Chains A and B, each alone.
Chain A
């Protein structure tokens, strides 16, 4: 059948990878892009980190945030995960005709507050309006530039013995948005974890080479990001299921919806791989900063099963975690 772009290509999992590798990189590949990091390190007066991200969330207001907050956090976090201290953002708005002006004001107010919190300035922007039916209220693109403060972060640095750390509870954003789309289904006050991560990331930069890699597990969740860390390498991640921080509310919502928190998006959590002897320091640094209180060591890097991510269940069995195949869908019963 003729190839078409289905929603699965936007899920952040395998299909998204194939789109990037087969359709985008062959045309646009260059050393900075080929790294496929959250941002690119480029030459300038100083080394810079440059990143871009687009935001199409529905509904655009959700518990714990909105598309404006998300569009600042997303790019700020990508720059920070690449070792950059985020400084400047661009803001591109694609607005569907009919969007209430009041909604736009709320969204821009949110951009402003979040930018202030993250210490970045929006220095350039663009606005387009498309016909009714050709957008979903509002889409936003942001690009961000940061000064490289922690060079060399990459999955290539990971080695057996390292520890995997997450900065807090997982699955909050994906579950909150899913519930916001279906308010009648599960009553609950789940909130997105959407927040700038640059202060948490900067706290870890001091670990130097003992900090191997940082990544914020957005679409595709913790599972997909960990798969990206080890795929094609000699390393394996063994996650400890009982150490995974999942809030009871997220766990219940996932049970009802048939979702797995390991695959749900996060917008305010980072994954760090650190040298084993610095894991305790990293944890202490994170726990000291707002948003890092629930940080935990969740797994080990070994060379037992190269390229794979395994979870040790609370019963002691091992199961594999693969990249998300397509968007997570709620199930029958």
Chain B
């Protein structure tokens, strides 16, 4: 390390890390010159406002059932107070599922309805979503489709690192993504970005250990990929899951909230499976909408400001009445900061 007075910024890019760090109070336990910054790891938070608005509109279509993970229910639309939870109270059919396969079950039980599964998440949830699409095809479940809002970790990290304001000293890499894609998929961080990277587990002990590994690298002037989460993550990852993902999905340009289009930053459904693509089936168009006034979620996601740095945080924007998604997703940095920290 340069000197004891330098500040070292470590970025985590997984919502589960964000929550675990806040919940165990890890920030308070680290030396004052080590700062943990949350990056674009919360899948709901990085979803573009235009896509969320399209989901809200779709939910009001006759005979449409929206099926998605619980995180999506309270994410605000561009009109204050709007959300799937509100639409549900107004009569929309919105079902919380734990897996996309559950959504196929709904489609089979209700053949007169169109069931649209909201495919949200990074490479962690992408294989399951791909599997569900394959399954729907095999079973001939014609009234099932997926609105593919899936994201990829690597491209967004590359975009972040190119930003002139970027000053992160190391990455805590997402263990869940690495279970699928393999630890080696984060090799580009030391090789091309020249930064230390540690694939980390999710227990507080894992995260503390990973921080220590990153700081050792910084102290010793190394930039390497290390795997702290060896009990779950191999170098190559889950090849079967990757194969399924590649069979059904292909990388495509993708909008991220507050960041614009990230080249190949997301997945779309391959032409062979287009029948199950809700965007095509319903002719959805994503209309550009401004971020809610004053909302700084776009900057929070990129780690450029901390939640408390947003003027709305905790005053206008609270979990009960959120303005931006970071306050409401269970993995959002603002939600974590609001829920768990008490020094605001």
Give the B-binding residues of A (Cβ under 8 A): 1, 4-8, 13-15, 182, 184-185, 257-258, 305, 308, 310, 313-320, 322, 325-326, 329-333
Contacts and interface: CB of A to CB of B under 8 A. Distances in A.
Contacts of A315: 24-26, 29, 204, 208
Given A317-B27, A332-B331, A333-B16, 19 more contacts: A7-B85, A7-B88, A8-B85, A13-B320, A313-B23, A315-B25, A315-B29, A317-B28, A318-B25, A320-B342, A325-B318, A326-B74, A326-B85, A330-B96, A330-B98, A331-B330, A332-B43, A332-B71, A332-B125
B121 interface: yes
Interface string B219-243: 0000000000000000000000000
Q: Most B CB atoms within 10 A — which of A325, A326, A329, A333? A: A333
5 contacts: A6-B86, A314-B24, A329-B70, A332-B120, A333-B124
B124 to A, nearest CB: 5
Contacts of A15: 320
Contacts of A182: 98
State the 3 A-B residue pairs at the shortest beta-carbon distance, nearest first: A317-B25, A329-B70, A320-B342
B79 interface: yes
Contacts of A308: 342
B16 to A, nearest CB: 7
B223 to A, nearest CB: 29
A322 B336 CA distance: 11
B257 to A, nearest CB: 16
Contacts of A7: 85, 88-89
A319 B340 contact: yes
A319 B208 CA distance: 17
A67 B102 CA distance: 26
Contacts of B86: 1, 4, 6
Interface string B113-133: 000000011001100000000
Interface of B: 15-16, 22-29, 43-44, 69-71, 73-74, 79-82, 85-86, 88-90, 96, 98-99, 102, 120-121, 124-125, 176, 204, 208, 318-320, 330-331, 338-342
B98 A185 contact: yes
A4 B102 CA distance: 29
Contacts of B90: 4
Contact of B339 (A14, A314, A320): A320
A325 B320 CA distance: 5
B23 A319 contact: yes
Contacts of A332: 15, 43-44, 69-71, 120-121, 124-125, 330-331
Contacts of A258: 70, 330
A329 B342 contact: no
A313 B330 contact: no
Contacts, number: 106
A1 B339 contact: no
B29 A317 contact: yes
Contacts of A13: 320
Contacts of A257: 98
Given A7-B89, A317-B26, A318-B342, A329 B73 contact: yes
B81 A313 contact: no
Contacts of A331: 69-71, 330-331
B17 to A, nearest CB: 12
Q: Most A CB atoms within 10 A — which of B25, B69, B71, B340? A: B25
B22 to A, nearest CB: 7
Given A14-B320, A315-B25, A1 B89 contact: no
A180 to B, nearest CB: 14
A7 B94 CA distance: 12
A320 B330 contact: no
Contacts of B80: 1
Given A313-B23, A320-B341, A322-B339, A329 B71 contact: yes
Contact of B96 (A314, A316, A320, A329): A329
A330 B70 CA distance: 5
Q: Most B CB atoms within 10 A — which of A6, A15, A326? A: A6
Contact of A6 (B28, B43, B85, B121): B85
A63 B251 CA distance: 45
A30 B15 CA distance: 46
A1 B81 contact: yes
Q: Most A CB atoms within 10 A — which of B28, B44, B208, B320? A: B320
A333 B339 contact: no
Q: Most B CB atoms within 10 A — which of A13, A316, A325? A: A325
Contact of B341 (A8, A305, A319, A326): A319
A317 B124 contact: no
Contacts of A1: 79-82, 86
Given A7-B85, A331-B70, A305 B342 contact: yes
A136 to B, nearest CB: 15
B288 to A, nearest CB: 22
Nearest to A330: B70
A5 B73 CA distance: 15
Contacts of A330: 69-70, 96, 98
Contacts of B74: 8, 326, 329
